[in-house]
Each structure stands twice: as structure tokens, then as C-alpha cells.
Amino acid sequence: MSVAVLFSVFVCTIINYSISQTLDWSLFPLGALIMVWATLAPLFLLKKNKALGLFSGLTITLIAYLFLIQYLVNDKDWFMPLALPIAVLSLIAFGISLFLFTNKTINKLYAAAITVFLFGVLVNFGVEKIVDNFLKEKNTGNHYNIAGIAISTIISLILLVIGTLKKSNQNN
């Protein structure tokens, strides 16, 4: 995996520098490849705490990659008010979900219900509010968002009911 990432970075960097004698566009794939490597490498390299390594690699590199993108693009006023809050909200939900699914004592149906609720309801609603605040206007055409939240709530409840019924059948 490391060789594939290094080769890809090398090719992008050589092509970019050969064409323009600078490193500009090649930093986008370079940063993305580093982010992928730092996220996946702990799964192969660590004996214990693989999920924590994956989460740490993703968290550090995602924030750095978003900052790199802001540095490379012309519009510089979106990282703090838009990208960072959405990334933090999503990472918190992902971290909770990762903990739930890797914890052997928690019913996987309950973990799935909470994950669907976190992403389908809380992250969905949170991202809408962050974007509305960034754009300084209320999104009036949010029928799909409302439908997504409603469907996610229903799916979460169904998973909770199935998990509870399965648990009570195992106890009987």
C-alpha cells in the first residue's frame, strides 16, 4: 500500500513540476493520498487499538487536508466557519460509531441504530444549520433534508426494536 501511495505521489509531483515548474495542483492528490495512507496504515501496522489508530490518522489528516485545500484555493474564508465545524461534527459521530461497533459488549443492532441516528439525524441537521449560517440565509427547499431525517429516525427506531426483540428472545 505504501509503495502504491508513494508511486502515485511521485507521478503527480513529476507531471505537475514538468508542466509548470511549480507544485500547485499536485498538492491536492498528494494530500489526499497521505490522508488515505494515514487512515489505513494503522489497520495493517498496529496489533491493538486499530480503530483508534484509524480514527486518529483520519482526524489529523482530514483537518490538515481541509486546511491545505483552503491554502491552495482563492477563496480563503470557508475553513473556520464551514469546513472545520462540519468535519468536527462528522468526526465526533464517526468516533462514537466506531467505539460502539468495536465494543464487544454492545449489541450491534443498537450500535447501528445509534449510528443511523447520529448521521441521519444529528449530522444531517447540524450540517444544514452550519451551511445556513455560512451562507447567511435559511434553506427553504429542504424537503429532502426533512425526509432524510424522518427516514433515519424511523430506521433507528426499527433497529432498536429489532435489537430489543432479539435480545429478549435470547434471554427466554
If asked whether residues 68 and 86 sit together in one domain, one would say no
If asked whether residues 95 and 71 sit together in one domain, one would say no
Range of the domain at 1: 1-75
If asked whether residues 60 and 91 sit together in one domain, one would say no
**For 9-40, what is each residue's pLDDT tens digit?**
899 999 999 999 998 889 999 999 999 999 99
If asked whether residues 92 and 63 sit together in one domain, one would say no
Domains of the chain: total: 2
Structural domain ending residue among the three candidates 75, 99, 115: 75
Distances in Å between the alpha carbon of 25 and those of 15, 64, 72?
10, 16, 8
If asked whether residues 94 and 24 sit together in one domain, one would say no
If asked whether residues 28 and 11 sit together in one domain, one would say yes
- Give the end-to-end CA distance of the chain in Å, rounded to a whole number: 48
Structural domain ending residue among the three candidates 75, 91, 110: 75
Local structure of residue 24 (DSSP, 8 states): S
If asked whether residues 41 and 116 sit together in one domain, one would say no
If asked whether residues 19 and 98 sit together in one domain, one would say no
Strand, helix or coil for residue 11: helix
- 43's grid cell: 489497520
pTM for this prediction = 0.85
Side-chain-side CA neighbours of 160 within 13 Å: the count stands at 11
- 89's grid cell: 461534527
If asked whether residues 56 and 139 sit together in one domain, one would say no
- Mean pLDDT of the region 55-79: 92
If asked whether residues 33 and 109 sit together in one domain, one would say no
If asked whether residues 122 and 145 sit together in one domain, one would say yes
Structural domain ending residue among the three candidates 75, 96, 131: 75
If asked whether residues 52 and 118 sit together in one domain, one would say no
- Mean pLDDT of the region 50-60: 95
Closest listed residue to residue 93, CA positions, set 54, 121, 130: 121
**For 109-156, what is each residue's pLDDT tens digit?**
999 999 999 999 999 999 999 999 998 877 766 788 889 999 999 999
